Amino acid sequence: MIRFLQTPGPVKKVVLGGMLIVICIAMLVYLIPSGNGTSGNSNVQSVATVDGSDITATEVRNTARQMAQQQAARYGAQASMIMPFLLQQATQQAADQLITRQVLLSQAQHLGLRVTPKEIQDELQHGRYAATFFPGGNFIGETEYEDMLSRANLTPALFEDSVGTDILIGKLQALIAGGASVSDAEVRKEFAKENTKVKFDYAVLKQDDLRKALHPTDAELQAFYESHKKTYANSVPEKRKIKYAVLDLNQVRGTVQVSREDLQAYYDQHRDQYRVPEQIKVSHIWIKSPLPDADGKVDEKALADAQHRAEELLKQLKGGAKFEDVAKKSSEDPGSANVGGSLGWIGKNQTTPEFEKAAYALSKGQTSDVVKSSDGFHIIRLDDKHEAHLKTLDEVKDQIEPILKQQKAAQAAQKEADALLTQAKAVGLDAAAATEKIPVINSDFFGRKDMLPGLGPAAQFMDAVFTAAEKSPPEMAPTSQGFAVFQLLAIKPPETPTFEEIRSRVETEFKNERSSVLLSQKTQELSDRAKAAHDLKRAAKELGAEVKTSDFVLPDGQVPDVGSMSGQAAVAFTMKPGEISGPINSANNGVVLELLEVQTPTDADFAAKRDEIRDSLLQYKQQQLFGVFVTNLKDEMKKSGKIKVNEELIKTLAKGNSEEGI
């Protein structure tokens, strides 16, 4: 059985790694509750106008907030600290995506594309919203549907209108990308490119060996220092001296209390995160179908034999044999045979349709008859089953409580830091910190990349310190562990070190530069000698290079000392047996290849992968075609004045988002 998420190959790489150049951001505007807005009336201003339709500051702000929150979730406890930076970054991206979405919607409408209520209903029931509104295929009910939408400041009409917009843009995408095609010759060429293997001898010269043989004199090093003096100018970075008081989140967190009402409110707002889809736990015994021949035909006798073997195994099970023992001995699924055939928990659309239908029809503990699918014959046992359900608050409160504690601690620490800063500006940092019984730390001179006691890694804090003006009043900045209020005491400007001060560094850089030049020269000489004598091993021996032999390797493979075959070493796939390459630079090595053998894939291999390669190429071409279409469409609309963008307002929003945070 082939499970897509566990199967490597070109199709998976395209689907998971090469998403469409333009991604329509469904519901991003509508599903985000509106904020308080920026000062003045900037929220009602138009960030952009697309074919007469305005994209407002509110839409951009809300979309940027959602994008930043999604990114911040990866940073755990530090999320609140970096939120201003994420918001600033997300603002321009949000504006671009909203403009692109409106461009596509406008074009779809101009082309006469339409969406029916039935299509919207099908999308809600069977598309990406099915798990939310139709868990297990059953509607959650009109009341809960409306309640869920209302918590996002939505009505069913607004929500369904946006779903229709996504469907409409999808139709446009299908219309444009439908013009892509792939010829048989292209499929064959791509298959050969991906599956041809080569084997070669290769001679290796190592830069480390050349570096060790260098023993520069003081005079040589002094000359090197003088010739590179510009690179050493002000290379001793600026240093600063401060005093600071730290408000540690960990200490604040210990005083924070989370009520049942807090837990309930968070649970209600994030209910979708706790929905569990229908899942089954299954084991299977798999007998593979024979592969098709070069003409795409399957040997019927071999197919019948595979079915017969599966039926014999079923007889063993019915005769009392233990399922796990039969699977370990006879199953042809290498991923599950060694664990008694267990596939673990799986959901819908993770197996072949025939397998899925049979598995979901079983009762717990029941074993199927032989099930024929597109990839062979299966005997399936249903080990357990979870119905689709919503986890209760009690089940997830242990997950929610740390999140709320972190949020409350960040808010409390921010409040305390603001109060300390205000007082420090009035009476001085020492007096203010003493009142709050917070110790003040006086630093020595330090660089931007140094780490100060009590702070941990603190890039934003260091940025604040190194942009503060001399004799400025106390300031506050976030750290990885909370906040710190600091005052700049002194600045030591950058310096140019003397030769004596950095002699060790000069020697290292001299050896690196000289050995790199020598490596290039010797690798070129190795290639020239090998080609002249038609003998790589002889030339390698003369120059002290080590000769090795590779295994058969694919274009995406790795070879020791050579590295990736997709780099300069890819030349091996263009060579003929006996041919010697030019010099190849690979990290700190110089390499010369002599091709020994080319192993081309068989027609049977091609027949087995032909459809997969064709799908991969077609999806890639569709992406390219649609991407070019979107780029050209936007360019044309900008030139004709149908797209007008207020760049200054976007910059203002980015700055406002960064300062406000969430």
User: According to the model, what pLDDT value does residue 127 have?
Assistant: 86
Question: Going by C-beta distance under 8 Å and a sequence separation of 6 or more, which residues neighbour residue 524?
Answer: 582, 583
pLDDT band at residue 353 using 50, 70 and 90 as cut-offs: confident
**Which of the 8 DSSP states describes residue 152?**
T
Q: What is the maximum span of the chain, computed from C-alpha positions, in angstroms?
A: 94
- How far apart CA 137 and CA 527 sit, in angstroms, is 67
Higher per-residue confidence, 289 vs 539: 539
Question: Going by C-beta distance under 8 Å and a sequence separation of 6 or more, which residues neighbour residue 251?
Answer: none
pLDDT higher than 60, residue 658: no
Residues 43 and 165 in one domain: yes
Residues 105 and 221 in one domain: no
User: According to the model, what pLDDT value does residue 37 have?
Assistant: 36
20-36: average pLDDT: 36
Question: Going by C-beta distance under 8 Å and a sequence separation of 6 or more, which residues neighbour residue 442?
Answer: 243, 489
Residues 452 and 554 in one domain: no
> Is 140 among the domain residues?
yes
Amino acid at 192: A
User: According to the model, what pLDDT value does residue 475 have?
Assistant: 95
Sign of the C-alpha dihedral computed for residues 385, 387, 389 and 392 taken in this order: negative
Phi and psi (nearest 5°) for 286? Answer: -120, 125
Q: Tell me the CA distances in angstroms from 574 to 121, 197, 202, 524, 568, one per residue in order.
A: 54, 11, 16, 19, 12
Q: Which two tokens stand for residue 199?
A: 């084997």
pLDDT higher than 70, residue 3: no
Higher per-residue confidence, 573 vs 71: 573
**Quick one: three-class SS letters along 208-231?**
HHHHHCCCCCHHHHHHHHHHCHHH
- How far apart CA 309 and CA 290 sit, in angstroms, is 13
303-328: average pLDDT: 94
- How far apart CA 204 and CA 589 sit, in angstroms, is 7
212-230: average pLDDT: 95
228-256: average pLDDT: 89
How much helix, strand and coil, in percent to the nearest 5, is found in the chain? 55, 15, 30
Residues 20 and 67 in one domain: yes
Amino acid at 599: Q
- State pLDDT tens for residues 151-181: 777 888 889 988 999 999 999 998 998 888 8
Pairing of strands 482-492, 239-248: antiparallel
Supply the angle between the helices 536-543 and 503-533 in degrees, to the nearest 10.
Answer: 150
Of 615, 610, 613, nearest in space to 293 by CA:
610
Percent of the chain with pLDDT over 90: 58
Residues 248 and 212 in one domain: no
Residues 651 and 529 in one domain: no
User: According to the model, what pLDDT value does residue 44 have?
Assistant: 55
pLDDT higher than 80, residue 36: no
pLDDT higher than 90, residue 141: no
Pairing of strands 546-549, 275-276: unpaired
* 370: β partners: 379
- How far apart CA 209 and CA 312 sit, in angstroms, is 63
* pLDDT mean across residues, the chain: 86
What's the CATH code of the domain at 342?
3.10.50.40
Phi and psi (nearest 5°) for 253? Answer: -60, -35
Of 20, 550, 32, 496, nearest in space to 235 by CA:
496
Domain boundary among 449, 468, 492: 492
pLDDT band at residue 651 using 50, 70 and 90 as cut-offs: confident
Low-confidence winner among 256-260, 296-300, 388-392, 578-582 (lowest mean pLDDT): 296-300
* 568: β partners: none
Of 585, 575, 586, 592, nearest in space to 541 by CA:
592
Q: Which domain holds residue 451?
A: 239-269+393-492
Of 408, 400, 407, nearest in space to 267 by CA:
400
Q: Which two tokens stand for residue 443?
A: 């630093």
Low-confidence winner among 12-21, 146-155, 414-423 (lowest mean pLDDT): 12-21
> Is 513 among the domain residues?
yes
| Number of domain units in the chain | 4
Residues 176 and 202 in one domain: no
> Is 505 among the domain residues?
yes
Q: Alpha carbon 254 to chain centroid distance?
A: 34
Residues 177 and 43 in one domain: yes
What's the CATH code of the domain at 30?
1.10.4030
Of 175, 27, 56, 180, nearest in space to 633 by CA:
175
> Is 609 among the domain residues?
no
* 371: β partners: 378
Domain boundary among 457, 492, 527: 492
Residues 360 and 465 in one domain: no
* 49: β partners: 54, 644
* 377: β partners: 287, 372
pLDDT band at residue 571 using 50, 70 and 90 as cut-offs: very high
- How far apart CA 388 and CA 137 sit, in angstroms, is 9
> Is 335 among the domain residues?
yes
User: According to the model, what pLDDT value does residue 334 have?
Assistant: 82
Residues 568 and 445 in one domain: no
Domain boundary among 328, 363, 386: 386
For the chain, the residue count is: 662
User: According to the model, what pLDDT value does residue 654 have?
Assistant: 81
Question: Going by C-beta distance under 8 Å and a sequence separation of 6 or more, which residues neighbour residue 322?
Answer: none
Higher per-residue confidence, 465 vs 13: 465
The DSSP result for 523-539, as a single string, is HHHHHHHHHHHT-HHHH
Percent of the chain with pLDDT over 70: 91
Residues 160 and 15 in one domain: yes
User: According to the model, what pLDDT value does residue 41 have?
Assistant: 42
Distance between first and last Cα of the chain: 47
pLDDT higher than 80, residue 275: yes
Beta strands across the sheet bearing 546-549 = 546-549, 197-206, 589-599, 584-586
> Is 189 among the domain residues?
no
Q: Which two tokens stand for residue 29?
A: 């505007």
Residues 263 and 411 in one domain: yes
437 — alpha (psi -120 to 50), left (phi > 0) or beta? left
> Is 605 among the domain residues?
no
Q: Alpha carbon 277 to chain centroid distance?
A: 24
Q: Identify the three-state secondary structure at position 421.
A: helix
384-403: average pLDDT: 90
Sign of the C-alpha dihedral computed for residues 325, 330, 331 and 333 taken in this order: positive
> Is 192 among the domain residues?
no
